[in-house]
Amino acid sequence: MESTETVLDVAELGRSYEKHRAVDGLSFQIRAGEILGLVGPNGAGKTTTLRTIAGVLPVKEGRVTIGGFDLARDEERAKRVMRWIPDDPQPFDSLTVHEHLEFTAALYGLADWRPRAEELLVRFELTEKKDAFGGELSRGMRQKLAFCCAWLAQPRLVLMDEPLSGLDPRGIRSAKHEIEALASTGTAVILSSHLLALIEELATRLLILDRGRNVFTGTLDEARERFREHAGSSLEEIFFAATGESGGSAKA
């Protein structure tokens, strides 16, 4: 259910760690219902970009607007419509799975959350674990719990960093289905991953980063068109062609 409504607007985002330029003048937008695949080599600035949009890192250069709210000036309202799933979610070790949902509901001010929580526990196969402490969960279970908490309030924007790591094949299939289902309800999703096949399968648009810079933004077809003379048609070949030409701007 893609629409023209812009959910996230990133303008001239920048971030440096001492002398290292992690993100350099990054600008892009994402609309409701889109799944933006964020790819790039190690150290390209993907996680820094996501953590900055999530509010984990302060916005030092540029501007981030989420759901019409400026992240720097209207932080609480911007964060209320967004969810962040880091690459290795760490639940609270003394809260049970169900209490995580209770906590999330209170944190985001949700009413009547219980039926949806029960539904999510079933969908993510966590019903049997609902009384388990966060500290007792396996890597895959932690990931599923993070999905449940993020999905609970049907946010307008979800940021995911390597969302499938730790999941078994059944969990991977289920997660992919759920991500697509979430986007179909109008939620914008940013999916950062090194698994190019996953991006190729799910993403409706691509953002390729290299050394902190945006080297390509557009659909997969636009990428194929853009890098036609350099590579074949798979995302892997596009990725190598794009990151091998990082010096030039290749915005579609």
Partner 1 sequence: MLSLLTFTNSFSLRGLYLQPNEIETLFSAPVSRPDLIRYRLRSAIARSLFGSLFFGWMFARRAPVPAFAFSGAVVAMLTLPMVGQAFSLVLGDAENRFAGKLAKLPWRVLTMVSVFLAIGGYFATMRGGVLERAEGRGFSYLASVWAEHPLARALRLPFTPWVRSISAVDLVHFVPWFAACVAIAIGLWLAVPRIPVDFRELSLETSADVARRLSRARRGLGATQGSASAATRSWRTPWLAGRGPFGAVAWRKAVSILRKSRTSFVVGGLIVALVSVLSVTVFATDGRDAFASAVFVAGFGTFYLCIGLRFDFREDLELVGLVRSWPIAPWKVFLATLLPETLLVSVMITLGVAGVAIYRQDPDPRLALLVAVVPLAVLVWTSIDNATFLFAPVRTNAAQDGALQNAGRAMMLMVMRMIGLAIAIGLAVIPYAIAAFALELPSVAAVAVGILGGLPIVLVEVGLLVLAGGAVLRRFDVARDTP
The site for partner 1 (CB under 8 A) is made up of 17, 48, 51, 54-58, 75-80, 82, 84, 86, 90, 92-96, 99, 103, 106-109, 131, 133, 135
**Minimum separation from the CB atom of position 19 to partner 1 (A):** 14
Going from the C-alpha of 216 to that of each of 9, 177, 207, 212, the distances in angstroms are 16, 26, 6, 12
Residue 10: phi and psi, rounded to 5, are -110, 125
Helices (H), the chain: 46-54, 75-80, 97-107, 114-123, 139-151, 169-184, 196-202, 220-226, 235-244
**Minimum separation from the CB atom of position 64 to partner 1 (A):** 13
Helix axes 114-123, 97-107, angle to 10 degrees: 130
The H or E element containing residue 74 is: none
Nearer of residues 26 and 223 to partner 1, judged by Cβ: 26
**Minimum separation from the CB atom of position 51 to partner 1 (A):** 7
Nearer of residues 118 and 201 to partner 1, judged by Cβ: 118
**Minimum separation from the CB atom of position 236 to partner 1 (A):** 30
Nearer of residues 51 and 224 to partner 1, judged by Cβ: 51
Nearer of residues 131 and 225 to partner 1, judged by Cβ: 131
